Structure 1
């Protein structure tokens, strides 16, 4: 029987923590309602769902601060963020399928890069929103998660723009220490902050 690598042990810990996060998110959804755009339904471990969750928390906080009828200057960027994140998910999935079918790696690489660029643009917009609504108590807590989310984005960016799959930022074959520090721990901190909020 083959021995587990460091990546394998990290995956076991991730599975345990993801299960706990799933349970707490489900409890929050049941308690506060699936229909409300509070972000609970998106709160699982992955970069784009974390952004979707953050987007919905910010949207909810903006509505609580300004009332349900947000001005167009606020709603249009939020709608753009939602569409950009959905596009990033689709591009990421298509890129993964292309890679698994041994299609030209340039296509998969390009799709992954466009996906991460969309995520970076959304992160910048959400950061501006969070800073704009900083006076609102719930968003002060959410802004704590932003630096950790930024580190997680940088990990994906370095992976997507690396010249080969044998790079230190590859989540499967790269350095397990970098993966643990810049990916796994950062995601767990963001999920913890959003769950606590």
Structure 2
């Protein structure tokens, strides 16, 4: 059986994210497994996209695909937004740590930790809504499920606003940041527009009409944003592409910006006797006899 436009997009995501998962894995080893660094979430997102893409392609090869598989694939498609926002929060946390090099108080309140919790709550509501929608037997069950999803996507929109505000605050304090942390912050600035488009689509998709299995979906102005039945080109432009572009932006930043050197550079500036030079993080300073 041939693939539909949605199937081709899913296959394209599968092809794109396979190499990305290896690069993301390398960056996790390079920068650390902590959620505070953000890289582990890029790896998670890559895995989610590979699994969801493979499942969607597989369903199109079946004449009568299982409703459970379709539900799981749909939930995974929506759930992919959380690792992207969590990754952004992790990178903002890395920027925050940069302030501690010039500030003995340790970089201020860790707002990113609170936003991580906010993101987890939003994701949980979307997953609950998707699961309940997949198991709904009546219209009341479906309406109850969609309420969870509506709250979840609205929380993601609020989360984006908070991320943008925190990002703007860090820019206002950029003089206190080491060079590599400023470059990481610039990378976040480049990715935020893509994340904005992705979240707007998630909100619109979350409010798009759905129907029980076997029923006809009610058509209205929001129908075109349905992530499974809406026009493929809207999904491609507002969901798949912005997400890939944000991920690729972060991958490039992760490869090009050695944020781990900031510690040694700051240490070299403050104490040359520790054996480090400020202009080269990893070369021991030669001492004159």
Q: Which residue of 2 aligns with 1:13?
A: 12
1:47 pairs with 2:46: no
1:194 pairs with 2:215: no
Higher relative contact order (CA 8 A, sep 6+): 1
Give me the whole-angstrom Cα distance separating, in 2, the residues matched to 1:179 and 1:112.
Answer: 18
1:18 aligns to what SS in structure 2? helix
Pairs within 5 Å for 1:108-119:
108-119=145-156
Q: Which residue of 1 aligns with 2:206?
A: 160
Give me the whole-angstrom Cα distance separating, in 2, the residues matched to 1:148 and 1:21.
Answer: 17
Q: Which residue of 2 aligns with 1:147?
A: 193
Aligned-residue offset at 1:36: 6.7
Pairs within 5 Å for 1:72-83:
72=109, 75=110, 77-83=111-117
Q: Which residue of 2 aligns with 1:121?
A: 158
Pairs within 5 Å for 1:52-67:
52-67=86-101
CA distances 1:21-69 after superposition (whole Å, capped 9, x unpaired): 2111101111222137210000125211100000000011111133472
CA distances 1:103-154 after superposition (whole Å, capped 9, x unpaired): 5111221111111111111111111111222232210121111111111111
Q: For the Cα contact (< 8 Å) 2:197–2:238, is it kept in 1? A: yes
Aligned-residue offset at 1:79: 2.7
Give me the whole-angstrom Cα distance separating, in 2, the residues matched to 1:168 and 1:94.
Answer: 23
Q: Which residue of 2 aligns with 1:106?
A: 143
Give me the whole-angstrom Cα distance separating, in 2, the residues matched to 1:64 and 1:80.
Answer: 19
Worse overlay, 54-63 or 167-176: 167-176
1:171 aligns to what SS in structure 2? coil
After TM superposition, the score normalised by the length of structure 2 is 0.63
Aligned residues, how many?
193
1:133 aligns to what SS in structure 2? helix
Which segments of 5 or more consecutive residues in structure 1 lack a partner in the other structure?
none
1:178 pairs with 2:234: yes
Which segments of 5 or more consecutive residues in structure 2 lack a partner in the other structure?
47-79, 175-181, 212-216, 218-222, 254-289
Residue of 127, 137, 147 corresponding to 2:183: 137
Give me the whole-angstrom Cα distance separating, in 2, the residues matched to 1:111 and 1:163.
Answer: 14
After TM superposition, the score normalised by the length of structure 1 is 0.91
Structure 1 consecutive aligned stretches of length 4 or more whose deviation exceeds 6 Å: none
Worse overlay, 163-172 or 132-141: 163-172
Q: For the Cα contact (< 8 Å) 2:37–2:91, is it kept in 1? A: yes
